[in-house]
A and B are shown apart, each in its own frame.
Chain A
Amino acid sequence: MSENIVSVNNLSVSFDYQENFLSKKQKIKAVNNINIKIKKGSFFGLVGESGSGKTTLGRAILGANKISTGNVIFHDDGRDFDLTTINSKEMKEYRKKAQLIFQDPYAALSPRMTVRDIIAEPLEVMKITNSREETDARVRDIAAKCRLNLEHLRRFPHAFSGGQRQRISIARALVSNPKFIVADESVAALDVSIQADILNLLKQLQNELNLTYLFISHDLSVVAHVCDIVAVMYLGHIVEMAPSRELFSNPRHPYTKALLSSIPSIDPENKSRAIELQGEIPSAMNPPSGCVFRTRCPHASKDGKEANIEMGLVEVTPGHWVDRCGVNCA
């Protein structure tokens, strides 16, 4: 059954930029008029250019970035949390349901706390448990699910490798029994073997605990393997969105095509058949008018008619959305 757990409607997030305190304030539009629906129980992938707004979008959904226009709604069994109007009391509730797994397992774990205390902290901060016994039981339960050795709970994080630390941060994120997880580059720092192990774990927990993930990653092979649906971002916009297999076998937008062609091959003799993107990367401070990709698109028309196109996703085949301009001018 495909209910949505998150709806993002016409969401924009802007930051101020000021060169010095005398100069005039400018806006950086990090996320620009985005619409997505995340289905309950899905593994939703978010890929795209560096600086395109992925982290900002993830943080906005968690209520950690202020929303400039539009809204984000979290649907929790009949109860809706509207992140635009949420008050601090509701926010406390919401934090139990939506959690972030950090990118960096080294920086995220306090070196002075034992693994047990690190995992238990959210329970104590959110006052979810009532006794030390109850806290311990919850910690042991989730630690076992994350395949952490129970005797490790008394140790300090430095005694653990990157992969084990990442499991500790996952256990910490899951201990409050959230329903929705934002994983921002959570496996980027891990070697491929541990990465495979962690991904299998996330998948398994998805089934066991009926979790939904927003999975932000630069590793397209990983995304292709674990995600059900993938959205591609460029300069604050989603330019394409489709079920994984469809997206990877039949990319439509010129940016998506360039991205897929640039995955480095493990064969040293296969020096890339990458579609090289020409031109300067445009700035979020001063984005191109019309199609944001037109300054680097290999298919842009000479008369630059894309400058007048208004961006927006169109459904080209069932479930496969691509920016309108990509349809018109490619």
Chain B
Amino acid sequence: MTHLLEINNLDVKFDTDEGRITAIDNVSLTLDQGKVLGIVGESGSGKSVTAKSIMQLNPGNTIYNENAEILIDEENVLKFTSKNDLKKIRGGKVSMIFQEPMASFAPAIKIGYQMVEQLMIHKPMDKKEAKNISIDMLNRVGIADAEKRFNQYAFELSGGMRQRAMIAMALSTMPKLLLADEPTTALDVTIQAQVINLMKDIIKEYNMGVIFITHDLGVIAQVADDVAVMYLGSVVEQGPVNEILKNPMHPYTKGLINALPDINNLDAPLTPIPGNIPSPLDRPSGCVFRTRCPHASKEGKEGNIKMGLVEIKPGHWLDKCGVDCGKT
């Protein structure tokens, strides 16, 4: 069976004044139609860069490796050069909900106008139809008085309204692949639940594939089929959401779950993972987590273990070094 999306051996580096930053190191992922793949992980671990690579939205200082592949319907996006090819992905087959809603609406143009434009670029329809679809989508994401909000500027909406307007815009084009980067962080939990239900319905109805990036493990538990855990540019653990959340094996995944504030125990202290994230300018050799890992063996600490995922149970993949050196 072919996958909707297949990422193979992706490295992404950025050239900066201070040197070359490794943002993604040898990441491989697959996603099928109708499925939701959650990505969680440390701030700066490369979640947004992964999504932007799929859309070819990384800036000019980006360097991809020669043998990397990002296949959408078996076509390698990384080899796309012409405008027409890129048009197929951006907003056509693929839509992205950006982490920062303010950045995706032009400040001086009413949000409705931007939604209508988007739609008309990608689907043959007239203005009136595009307006009706847009207002309907605004309604469905729980924006009251949608006709009026349609005529407002992004800065006039609350943070959560902006985010919902962006979700409405991304869903209105009915993409095959939806990249949702922290789509519900600015929403209160009741509206979050409503938006998640809406997204689930639409995913089902149109058989979309979704990459859902969030640091909210509760949201991941509710929406994702599979989850990939990233740390400093590498996927360290991956598998069905149930398995990963109930039976985490990698020390980083365990630390993440342990850091969740427990609403049923307000006396428990908040427990971050000790130590600081290394700068991407000096990424540790070997296991990227070794500088903070409570279980690192001597060999692991010295950075001599090579990373790579191993299937420890059907569907549950764990970084090889986690298997080798994480015995406790």
A residues sitting closer than 8 Å to B (CB atoms) are: 15, 17, 19-20, 47-52, 55, 103-104, 106-107, 149, 155-156, 158-164, 185, 188-197, 199-200, 218-222, 224-225, 244-245, 248, 258-259, 262-272, 274, 276-277, 280-286
Contact between chains at B185 and A189 (CB < 8 Å)? yes
Interface of chain A, main secondary structure: loop
CB distance from A95 to the nearest CB of B (A): 21
Further 6 A-B residue pairs, CB within 8 A, beyond A51-B161, A258-B190, A268-B241: A51-B160, A107-B102, A199-B270, A218-B189, A224-B263, A274-B190
Check: B327 CB closer than 8 A to any chain A CB. no
Contact between chains at A185 and B186 (CB < 8 Å)? yes
Residues of A within 8 Å of B43, CB to CB, are: 161-163, 189-191, 194
Contact between chains at A271 and B222 (CB < 8 Å)? yes
CB distance from B197 to the nearest CB of A (A): 9
Which of B198-242 touch A at CB < 8 Å?
Answer: 215-219, 221-222, 241-242
Which of B38-58 touch A at CB < 8 Å?
Answer: 40-44
Distance between Cα atoms of A245 and B277 in the complex (Å): 33
From B16, B156, B186, B222, A50 is in contact (CB under 8 Å) with B186
- From B73-81, B82-90, B254-262, give the one contacting chain A: B254-262
Q: Say yes or no: A107-B100 contact (C-beta < 8 A), given A55-B158, A286-B145.
A: yes
Which of B110-137 touch A at CB < 8 Å?
Answer: none
Distance between Cα atoms of A276 and B192 in the complex (Å): 12
CB distance from A49 to the nearest CB of B (A): 5
B residues sitting closer than 8 Å to A (CB atoms) are: 16-18, 21, 40-44, 99-100, 102-103, 142-145, 148, 151-152, 156-161, 164, 182, 185-193, 215-219, 221-222, 241-242, 245-246, 255-257, 259-263, 266, 269-273, 276-277, 279-281
Contact between chains at B16 and A188 (CB < 8 Å)? no
Contact between chains at A267 and B221 (CB < 8 Å)? yes
CB distance from B282 to the nearest CB of A (A): 10
Contact between chains at A266 and B218 (CB < 8 Å)? yes
Q: Say yes or no: A265-B221 contact (C-beta < 8 A), given A50-B188, A193-B255.
A: yes
Contact between chains at A107 and B41 (CB < 8 Å)? no
Contact between chains at A277 and B188 (CB < 8 Å)? no
Contact between chains at B280 and A159 (CB < 8 Å)? yes
Chain A residue nearest to B263 (CB atoms) is A221
Contact between chains at A259 and B280 (CB < 8 Å)? no
Residues of B within 8 Å of A258, CB to CB, are: 190
From B144, B157, B186, B242, A281 is in contact (CB under 8 Å) with B144
Distance between Cα atoms of A17 and B145 in the complex (Å): 12
Contact between chains at B272 and A200 (CB < 8 Å)? yes
Residues of A within 8 Å of B187, CB to CB, are: 50, 218
Distance between Cα atoms of A98 and B17 in the complex (Å): 36
Q: Say yes or no: A20-B151 contact (C-beta < 8 A), given A106-B100, A196-B271, A200-B270.
A: yes
From A196, A248, A284, B270 is in contact (CB under 8 Å) with A196
CB distance from A259 to the nearest CB of B (A): 6
Contact between chains at B185 and A191 (CB < 8 Å)? no
From A103, A161, A196, A264, B259 is in contact (CB under 8 Å) with A196
Distance between Cα atoms of A107 and B102 in the complex (Å): 10
| Closest CB pairs A-B (n = 8) | A50-B160, A162-B43, A161-B44, A264-B218, A283-B144, A283-B145, A196-B270, A197-B272
Contact between chains at A159 and B279 (CB < 8 Å)? yes
Q: Say yes or no: A220-B41 contact (C-beta < 8 A), given A50-B161, A248-B263, A283-B144.
A: no
Residues of A within 8 Å of B148, CB to CB, are: 17, 19, 283, 285
Distance between Cα atoms of A200 and B261 in the complex (Å): 12
CB distance from B5 to the nearest CB of A (A): 22
CB distance from B151 to the nearest CB of A (A): 6
Residues of B within 8 Å of A104, CB to CB, are: 100, 102
Distance between Cα atoms of A282 and B242 in the complex (Å): 36
Chain A residue nearest to B182 (CB atoms) is A189
Q: Say yes or no: A267-B245 contact (C-beta < 8 A), given A50-B186, A192-B215, A194-B42.
A: yes
